[in-house]
Amino acid sequence: MMNLDQKIIDKIKADYLQNLPKDCSIQHIPRQQPLHLFSQNQLDDFESLFNPELIFFINIECENIKTQETFDVTEENLFKIKQSPADFKIESLSFDYTSALIFISFHYQDEIQALLDKNFSKPKINTLYFSLALVASFTFMYLFFSLPQDSGNFLSFVIFGIAFLCMAYLYESLKSLLPKQQKKQKTKNTFYIAQYLATHLHDFADTHFKLDNLERPDELT
């Protein structure tokens, strides 16, 4: 049986392709070639990347052949390129990871929540460790204040350090149960899952459309 992760990844891939024309062949758009040498089909594929009804998540980098200036193509400068196609060539087509990440975060909230429920449990206190840390913190703090003055700084430092670590554990355990902290952690986990899904779409689009292998963002750490 296919696991939940793969089902959601396959759904996002299928939705991505379903939004695009079946005869779409942007993988055949030439690089390093003046646009006036493009075939009509290649020009149509190039212009389809700017159709607001289609969501490719693809960045287009062009070069002005005369000035050797490179720039990202947008709807604003597309008209200039179409006016002088002999002056421009495509440097690269690359996946727009940031836009895909934002899109997935907003349009697949139910799927992200399902993965949250599967992979992240609500924080709870380990009663055994919490009890041990509580007893230890009181014990070592008692020893610290009970030490004779001539017992040595090193021993005092060690005892106080252990007591401090125990109290820090108690503090972090209780802090994790606060609603504000839980909301913050859920937001972080949601972002991690959206990154995970966007990375899979990135890999799929790279392969399907033979996109250029540019330096990728640090999606997951």
Domain boundaries, the chain: 4-117+187-208, 124-175
With cut-offs at 50, 70 and 90, classify the pLDDT of residue 141.
confident
Strand partners, 158: none
With cut-offs at 50, 70 and 90, classify the pLDDT of residue 100.
very high
Strand partners, 70: 63
pLDDT, one tens digit per residue, over 167-219 is: 898 888 888 777 777 788 888 899 999 999 999 999 999 999 999 866 555 54
CA angle 16, 77, 79 (to 5 degrees): 95
Sign of CA dihedral 129, 135, 138, 139: negative
Q: Is 122 helix (H, G, I), strand (E, B) or coil?
A: coil
What is this structure's pTM? Answer: 0.73
Tokens of 178: 């606060």
In angstroms, the CA 114 to CA 120 distance is 10
Tokens of 139: 């014990």
